[in-house]
Structure 1
Amino acid sequence: MKKADIFEFYRRLAEDNPAPETELQWTNPYTLLVAVALSAQATDIGVNKATKALFATVDTPAKMLALGEAGLKRHIKTIGLFNTKAKNVIAAAQILVDRFGGEVPRDRAALETLPGVGRKTANVVLNVAFGEPTIAVDTHIFRVANRTSLAPGKDVRAVEDRLMKVTPKPFLTHAHHWLILHGRYVCKARRPECWRCIEVDLCAFKPKTPPPTDAGAHGAVPESP
């Protein structure tokens, strides 16, 4: 995608949603860290349901340690891989207390020393909690970047590096949210909804998908929500 088109791509996203936010519910950097760690291979809706009662009383690493692994499991048992995630959250809480004074570090390398926290989770925390210009590439962003030709790459790190290079500075802070929301609700995996996409003329994807009524007329079955 050409430089001018990239700027226009983001300009339209910004105009459509000037202040995008994560759909995960959090109250401070620690609860955000926990929520993002729990969201791996799970939906934000599912995580929010599981953490609503949890975060009402547990919002620091020390309180998480007091709750304990068994207590945490009772809260998050509806989330996929909850046993492993509970173990990681408790281990991470211990490290935060022992090494970081109970505070979430504003540093990617430090964050990645925590169990269950990889580059993507660290990037989300840095961006959302601390306003750092990072882009956490998940499956949605990877798909949008490649499908549109915004920032094609063979793996998530290649896409991240490319996005960081081509995204204009005025849009870097919110780029992560714009792209993930676009991928989640418009540029969907099975059937992108090109007929209502604000980027349709800039996007390299072909052929563009027609509205569901047109698709039905040709015998195709529209994608389920």
Structure 2
Amino acid sequence: MNLKVIAFDADDTLFINEPYFEEAEKKFCVLLEDYLSHQGLSRELFTTQVNNLPLYGYGIKGYILSMIEAAIKVSNGTISVDFIKKITEYGKDLIEKPIELIDGVEETLQALHGKYKLVVATKGDLKDQQRKLHKSGLGNYFHHIEVMDDKQEINYQKLVKRLDIQPSEFMMIGNSLKSDVLPVLEIGGYAIHIPFHTTWEHERIDHKVEHQNFSAVEKIIDVLKILQ
């Protein structure tokens, strides 16, 4: 490998994220359990959120708008203002969650800093992702922060062009095979998958990944065995 840039996903790669969304979803299901089963509410929320991705993108703000829309739908428009107020409170709680680094993150960044150009390449709301990175204390390790509206091949092609490198000089490290691995391999880059114990349904794939530029490790610190 002749790598120049190593990009890290943020949520559930550098710091914990998805469990907080699952916690908010459980509150949502309890709040509306008189209208539909918890399973039905989860499915309605997921469908609404995915349908809204082209409009709102990824992140907490779009998630809360989808919660409100799903609540209106399952209640046939009868949901009270107090319920909507509760849902917005769930969103504020998500924004105010503490930043919890995943084990081994800082040690890994310390070891790689100065040897490669390190960047963050993540989806979500720009303001929220900048806030989380600032509060994490990791900002000084990174040369560039890219908050992407999606992680398709075209998005990574634009990123490597902005970084003035070839795809073969780029590596992506993240917890999503769908977003962090497959599109990067398709453009000719390298990718390392680090599984997280919880993965949003929209990010799951149902097949194995086999590619000469692909590696999988159990913990983030293990990427040093590949890169050093």
TM-score normalised to structure 2 length: 0.25
TM-score normalised to structure 1 length: 0.25
Query: Which has the larger strand fraction?
Result: 2
- Higher RCO, 1 vs 2 (CA within 8 Å, ≥6 residues apart): 2
Query: Which has the larger helix fraction?
Result: 1
